[in-house]
């Protein structure tokens, strides 16, 4: 099985690649359209801001390619946000593959932003991506913007309000948390994606 | 609900994990990857690696061990030690670190915090602050604390620096209270509580953990987001699984180690 990591410049690419290696999958790091189109699974990692993230995909000429993919695609953290229609971060038009708008967490006295640390995943609906997910499973999050709940939500997490922790819309999937840094729970969910 | 974090800190010197008392007299505690994996297995929420001699020696952190750690562990980790530029930070982040922490170089040149936040986002940028109470009752910042012969007391007040660091783009602050560090009599709750009131980003307590109650006090009384400790974990005085179960029993949100068995 060919798995590719889209090299859009995010600093967590190495970590995602190592996580896949621990699962026995050697993913190629590439920005090559032909390699991405030919892959069985495509992962779009990402750390940083939405505007520069989209600009980088545009520079690489990958926007229309990513929109046209029919195999399972997984966006991680910013990668998941880039799959959405629009982000409040820099008022950025994103890929439009998941019909959601990414919104900033509003700071309150008991909600510090960024949302950084381990938080609980709650299943919103059954999906193979969440196979084996337990009631008390935690994942590691680091983000200031989030995808609201909607028809796309597979799992939610509560941080003052509930938001989408994992999403799916057709062949496009997303994890707001970092599966590569979420210990055994993250490894399980990454493996689920590889087995879709 | 976001859980509070238990963070073992591994001071790194010449590629080994070391620990000193009051920042002096370092002894070797073990191999980096071996200790990292042990803490991951025990349920540590995050790890911090301080290359404690990088800043006093004027060099950046050694990337080789960062990559070895990144390949081996699947919990987040932060690397600190002499990171003086966005390029050096990028190298460490690309080697697989999730966050970088700056301390002495940010005191030399505070714009470093802005540069790092612009380049990588605030979520990657941790500012470490070593703080000691002076005879006049003010907490002030110390620089180059990795080497006692080079440690400097600055005129800068700790709380002023915390505010400036946040304005410049710190996404998290680790407040190391040097007066309580290494002596295991508890975190400096007074200083942490005052710091908490002016800290809008996650605040991590450091310095002084000696018993499970000290962690509870830091979370309950000073409302910190995470508690960092070194010697009590390295020496086995406190076992992380038992500590987390105790804190959970005290009503503190914890990711319990036995929740790690689902895969």
Predicted-complex ipTM score: 0.89
First to last CA, chain B: 22
Structural Rg of chain A based on CA atoms: 15
Please tell me the predicted confidence (pLDDT) of residue B9.
92
Top mean-pLDDT range of A7-21, B52-66, B128-142: B128-142
Range of the domain at A134: 3-194
CATH number for the domain spanning A58: value is: 3.40.50.880
Residues 6+ apart with CB under 8 A from B54: B60, B61, B62, B81, B82, B146
DSSP for chain A? --EEEE-SS-TTHHHHHHHHHHTT--PEEE--HHHHHH-SEEEE---S-HHHHHHHHHHTT-HHHHHH--S-EEEETHHHHHTEEEETTTTEE---SEEEEEEEPPPBTTB-SSEEEEEE-EESS--GGGTT--TT-EEEEEESEEPPPSTTEEEEEEESEEEEEEEEETTEEEESS-GGGSHHHHHHHHHHHHT-
Mean predicted confidence (pLDDT) in A54-75 = 96
pLDDT of residue A9: 72
Calculate how close chain B gets to A146, using CA atoms only, in Å: 14
Interface of B with A (CB under 8 A): 1-5, 40, 45-46, 67, 70-71, 74-76, 90, 93-96, 98, 120-124, 171-172, 200-202, 225-226, 255-256, 259-263
What pLDDT does A8 receive?
Answer: 77
The correct answer on CATH 3.20.20.70 for the domain covering B5-260 is yes
CA dist list (Å): B56 to A172, B86, B104, B159: 49, 19, 9, 24
Residue A117 confidence class, pLDDT cut points 50, 70, 90: very high
pLDDT band at B185 (very low <50, low <70, confident <90, very high): confident
pLDDT level of residue A180 (50, 70, 90 thresholds): very high
Residue B263 has pLDDT above 50, yes or no: no
Q: pLDDT over 70 for what percent of chain B?
A: 91
CA distance B99 to B92: 9
**Chain A residues near residue B63 by CB distance under 8 angstroms:** none
User: Which residues are B142's β-sheet partners?
Assistant: B130, B153
Q: Who's near B18: CB < 8 A, 6+ residues apart?
A: B11, B12, B26, B27, B28, B29, B52
Domain count for chain A = 1
Domain boundaries, given as residue ranges, for chain B:
5-260
Mean pLDDT of B176-191: 85
pTM score: 0.91
- B33 vs B21: CA distance, rounded Å: 23
- Which residue in the list B51, B62, B130, B217 is annotated as catalytic? B130
Task: Please check the confidence at residue B22 and state whether its pLDDT lies above 80.
Answer: no
Q: B262 falls in which pLDDT band (50, 70, 90)?
A: very low
Query: CA-CA distance, A145 to B40, in Å (whole number)?
Result: 28
Separation CA B103–CA B81 (nearest Å): 8
Question: Residues B115-137: what's their mean pLDDT?
Answer: 91
Query: Residue B75: phi, psi to the nearest 5?
Result: -125, 160
Does residue B78 surpass a pLDDT of 60?
yes
Chain-chain contact of B1 with A11 (C-beta, under 8 angstroms): no
What does the pLDDT look like over B190-224, one tens digit per residue?
999 999 999 999 999 999 899 999 999 999 999 99
Q: What's the pLDDT score for residue B120? A: 86
Q: Can you tell me the mean pLDDT for B143-149?
A: 76
Q: Å from B254 to nearest chain A CA?
A: 9
Q: Is A77 a residue of the active site?
A: yes
A94 is catalytic: no
| pLDDT of residue B21 exceeding 60 | no
């Amino acid at each position: 099985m060919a798995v590719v990591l889209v090299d859009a410049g995010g600093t967590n690419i190495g970590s995602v690649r190592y996580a896949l290696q621990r699962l026995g999958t050697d993913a190629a790091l590439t920005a090559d359209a032909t390699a991405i189109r030919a892959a069985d699974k495509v992962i779009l990692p990402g750390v940083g801001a939405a505007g520069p993230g989209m600009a980088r995909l545009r520079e690489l000429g990958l926007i229309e390619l990513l929109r046209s993919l029919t195999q399972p695609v997984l966006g991680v953290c910013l990668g998941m946000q880039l799959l959405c229609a629009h982000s409040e971060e820099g008022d950025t038009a994103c890929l439009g593959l998941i019909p959601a708008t990414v919104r900033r967490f509003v700071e309150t006295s008991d909600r510090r932003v960024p949302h950084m640390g381990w938080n609980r995943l709650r299943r919103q609906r059954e999906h193979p991506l969440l196979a084996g997910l337990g009631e008390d499973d935690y994942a590691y999050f680091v983000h200031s913007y989030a995808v609201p709940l909607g028809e796309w939500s597979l799992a939610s997490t509560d941080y003052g309000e509930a938001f989408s922790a994992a999403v799916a819309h057709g062949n496009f999937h997303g994890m707001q948390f970092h599966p590569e840094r979420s210990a055994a729970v993250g490894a399980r969910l990454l493996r689920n994606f590889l087995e879709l | 609900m976001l859980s509070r974090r238990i963070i073992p800190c591994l001071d790194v010197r010449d590629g080994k994990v070391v620990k000193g008392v009051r920042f002096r007299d370092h002894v070797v505690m073990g191999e980096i990857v071996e200790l990292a994996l042990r803490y991951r297995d025990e349920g540590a929420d995050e790890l911090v690696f301080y290359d404690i001699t990088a800043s006093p020696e004027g060099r950046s952190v050694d990337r080789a061990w960062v990559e070895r750690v990144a390949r081996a562990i699947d919990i987040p980790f932060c690397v600190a030690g002499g990171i003086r530029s966005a390029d050096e930070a990028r190298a460490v982040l690309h080697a697989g670190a999730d966050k970088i922490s700056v301390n002495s170089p940010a005191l030399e040149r505070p714009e470093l915090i802005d540069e790092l936040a612009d380049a990588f986002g605030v979520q990657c940028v941790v500012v470490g602050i070593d703080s000691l109470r002076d005879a006049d009752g003010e907490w002030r910042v110390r620089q180059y604390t990795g080497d006692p012969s080079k440690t400097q007391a600055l005129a800068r007040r700790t709380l002023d620096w915390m505010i400036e660091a946040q304005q410049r783009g710190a996404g998290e602050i680790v407040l190391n209270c040097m007066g309580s560090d290494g002596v295991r009599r508890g975190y400096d709750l007074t200083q942490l509580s005052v710091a908490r009131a002016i800290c809008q980003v996650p605040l991590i307590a450091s310095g002084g953990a000696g018993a499970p109650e000290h962690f509870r006090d830091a979370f309950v009384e000073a409302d910190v987001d995470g508690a960092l400790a070194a010697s009590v974990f390295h020496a086995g005085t406190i076992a992380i699984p038992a500590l987390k179960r105790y804190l959970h029993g005290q009503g503190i949100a914890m990711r319990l180690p036995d929740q790690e068995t689902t895969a």
